[in-house]
Amino acid sequence: MKLRLQLRCLLLVAALAVAQSTLVWGTSALAVEKPLPFPLPRSAQELPRSAVIETEKGSFRIEFLREVAPTTVRNFEYLAKRNFYSGLTFHRYEPGFAIQGGDPKGNGKGGPGYMLPPEFSNVRHERGSLGMARLSDQINPERLSNGSQFYICLAPAPHIDGLYTVFANVRSGMDVVERLRKGDRIISVRVEP
């Protein structure tokens, strides 16, 4: 009887270990294996230079870092041209740090159905920097970027330098960005050549 109980316990522990490793591997594998729905750029010159983001509080213009994060810029262009961002809200506001939006669920847990490869660089997080959000390292050891959620720094944030993909900077309308709050809507995003 005692031996049977010990054997059951060992089998249960082994089954849990396999289930846990499968779950972690499965999550990562799904994120990596899902193909991107757009062609990768052949050169940075074929990517747009800027975009205008219109919100309920006004518009602001961003300039893309095409050489630094070409895949992320292509993704932003792809989503903007499909009106993905139109009507979405900014779901997170951290005073003195950042405003975050681009989540179709509106709660920080959504995206377009795929993740992006990280494009880390030595570009610093300054006031007006745009970066792609991502899940924590414990859940996302590859540090893949979310496919649509982006944040805009409201102040320098050196503590996250090199940990997230920075893909653009606000070039005009930072006063509009500073008025944005949780729940404010994006009306449209228009990319420019």
pLDDT in tens, 45-98: 999 999 999 999 999 999 999 999 999 999 999 999 999 999 999 999 999 999
Q: Say which residue the tokens 């993740």 belong to.
A: 115
Long-range contacts of 77-80 (CB under 8 A, 24+ apart): 77/47, 77/48, 77/51, 77/191, 78/37, 78/38, 79/112, 79/148, 79/189, 80/51, 80/189, 80/190, 80/191
pLDDT reported for residue 18: 34
H or E element, residue 63: strand 58-64
Terminal Cα-to-Cα distance of the chain (whole angstroms) = 75
pLDDT reported for residue 1: 52
pLDDT reported for residue 91: 98
pLDDT reported for residue 34: 79
Does residue 189 have a pLDDT over 70? yes
Residues 43-63 as b/e (b if ≥16 CB within 10 A, e otherwise) read ebeebbebbbbbbebeebbbb
Say how many C-beta atoms besides its own lie within 10 A of residue 9's C-beta.
10
Q: What is the mean pLDDT of the chain?
A: 87
- Tens of pLDDT, residues 1-40: 544 444 444 433 333 333 333 223 233 333 445 799 999 9
Structural domains in the chain plus CATH codes: 44-192 (2.40.100.10)
Of residues 5 and 160, more confidently modeled: 160
Q: Given CA atoms 154, 155, 158, 159 in this order, what sign does their dihedral have?
A: negative
Instruction: Work out the burial of residue 15: count CB atoms within 10 Å of its CB; fewer than 13 is exposed, 13-18 middle, 19 or more buried.
Output: exposed
pLDDT reported for residue 8: 45
Tell me how far apart the alpha carbons of residues 104 and 68 are, in angstroms, rounded to a whole number.
Answer: 26
Tell me how far apart the alpha carbons of residues 32 and 17 are, in angstroms, rounded to a whole number.
Answer: 23
pLDDT reported for residue 134: 96
Does residue 151 have a pLDDT over 70? yes
9, 54, 67, 79, 98 from 62: Cα distances, Å: 58, 11, 15, 15, 16
